[in-house]
């Protein structure tokens, strides 16, 4: 039995943040500009509050400006759109992120599509989806871009001809992930809840990306020996072994079974999770450079 190589997303993300900080310093030196990221939070969702706090902290640690806009849960759609418009017009703001989910009375797509596409560092604007789909310069969604970085770091830059499967077809993870793998010349299968013989589809893949949201659904015997397994899922399950009422995080892949078969695998936590904010910061630097019309500094 083999033991898969552990893909350390935490270490990769730390290194990426270091490279972002170096680029920020060079931009300041060469152009006197500090990249700025604005995060808008509507309401008091506890998980969203934690994300926003972490984003703000890591933005500042990289030497960038962080602008936080915390709005009441009762904020109207019109008022939120007015905040987005102000940020669109603000030259100190190079990236805008509206934290999802938004309260039910607000149309998420309308708000996301009100962000200037070039400042849409989450890459969720329909223009950026279209640009990604048609091979044009886009802002690329952070989680799938982070997954691609981990895959290339593990398997090498050239993924040509590899069979890849993406399990999940959401707009924020599954679809852009599949597009990125296609752009990297993989032969890509997109699987979802209606896919027939999912284990059989998975067993053919050299690269398996799981973005489902179902704890430990993908079993070890679904995995092709030696495959690269990227587990995007973050699921909280009861952990009675840790004590009454305790919980733990698991991915969409049954890690214990999969690591016996895979060539490489991301753990949960510590795999894909830490990549998302690091890529968000990298996207903000990219957006800043594009707005200045300058090449991104080397780091
Ligand atoms: P969605 O709920 O939007 O999409 C889930 C996808 O999984 C859907 O396409 C669905 O298919 C598919 N699916 C559901 N059940 C099955 C099944 N039994 N067999 C095959 N496919 C199935 O989730 P997201 O893409 O937003 O997120 C997926 C996971 O990734 C979650 O655990 C989430 O927490 C995590 N996540 C982690 C991030 C990070 O690490 N930073 C960022 C974003 C997400 P269908 O379309 O047919 O319904």
Count the Cβ atoms, other than its own, within 10 Å of residue 251: 30
Residues 197, 206: Cα–Cα separation, whole Å:
17
Distance CA(135)–CA(286), nearest Å, equals 17
Residue 234 CA to ligand 1 centre (angstroms) = 10
Full set of structural domains in the chain with CATH: 30-117 (3.40.50.10860), 142-274 (3.40.50.720)
Q: Is 119 a catalytic residue?
A: no
Catalytic residue, from 23, 55, 162, 175: name it: 55
Q: What is the pLDDT along the chain (299 residues), one digit of tens a residue?
A: 679 999 999 999 999 999 999 999 999 999 999 999 999 999 999 999 999 999 999 999 999 999 999 999 999 999 999 999 999 999 999 999 999 999 999 999 999 999 999 999 999 999 999 999 999 999 999 999 999 999 999 999 999 999 999 999 999 999 999 999 999 999 999 999 999 999 999 999 999 999 999 999 999 999 999 999 999 999 999 999 999 999 999 999 999 999 999 999 999 999 999 999 999 999 999 999 999 999 999 99
Number of the ligand 1 atom closest to the C-alpha atom of 235? 32
Residue 99: active-site member: yes
Distance 181 CA to ligand 1 centre (A): 18
- Cα distance between residue 161 and residue 237, in whole Å: 37
Q: Rounded to whole angstroms, how far apart are CA atoms 66 and 91?
A: 13
Annotated active-site residue in 23, 58, 99, 120: 99
């Amino acid at each position: 039995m083999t033991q898969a190589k552990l893909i350390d997303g935490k270490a990769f993300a730390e290194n990426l943040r270091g490279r972002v900080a170096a680029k920020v310093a060079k931009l300041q030196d060469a152009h006197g500009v500090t990249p700025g990221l604005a995060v808008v939070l509507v309401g008091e969702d506890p998980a969203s509050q934690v994300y926003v706090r972490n984003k703000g902290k890591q933005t500042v640690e990289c030497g960038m400006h962080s602008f936080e806009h915390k709005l009441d849960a009762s904020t109207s759609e019109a008022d939120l759109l007015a905040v987005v418009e102000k940020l669109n017009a603000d030259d100190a703001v190079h990236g805008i992120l509206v934290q999802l989910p938004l309260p039910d009375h607000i149309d998420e797509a309308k708000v996301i599509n009100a962000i200037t596409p070039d400042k849409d560092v989450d890459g969720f604007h329909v223009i950026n989806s279209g640009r990604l789909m048609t091979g044009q310069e886009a802002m690329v969604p952070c989680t799938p871009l982070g997954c691609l970085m981990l895959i290339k770091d593990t398997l090498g830059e050239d993924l040509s001809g590899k069979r890849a499967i993406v399990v999940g077809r959401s707009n924020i993870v599954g679809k852009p992930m599949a597009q990125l793998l296609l752009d990297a010349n993989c032969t890509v299968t997109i699987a979802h809840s209606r896919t027939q013989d999912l284990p059989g589809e998975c067993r053919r893949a050299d690269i398996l990306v799981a973005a489902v949201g179902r704890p430990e659904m993908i079993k070890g015997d679904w995995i092709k020996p030696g495959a690269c397994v990227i587990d995007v899922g973050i699921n909280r399950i009861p952990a009675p072994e840790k004590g009454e009422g305790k919980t733990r995080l698991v991915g969409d892949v049954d890690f214990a079974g999969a690591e016996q078969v895979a060539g490489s695998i991301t753990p949960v936590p510590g795999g894909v999770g830490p990549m998302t904010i690091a890529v968000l910061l990298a996207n903000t630097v990219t957006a800043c450079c594009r707005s200045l019309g300058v090449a991104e500094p080397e780091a």
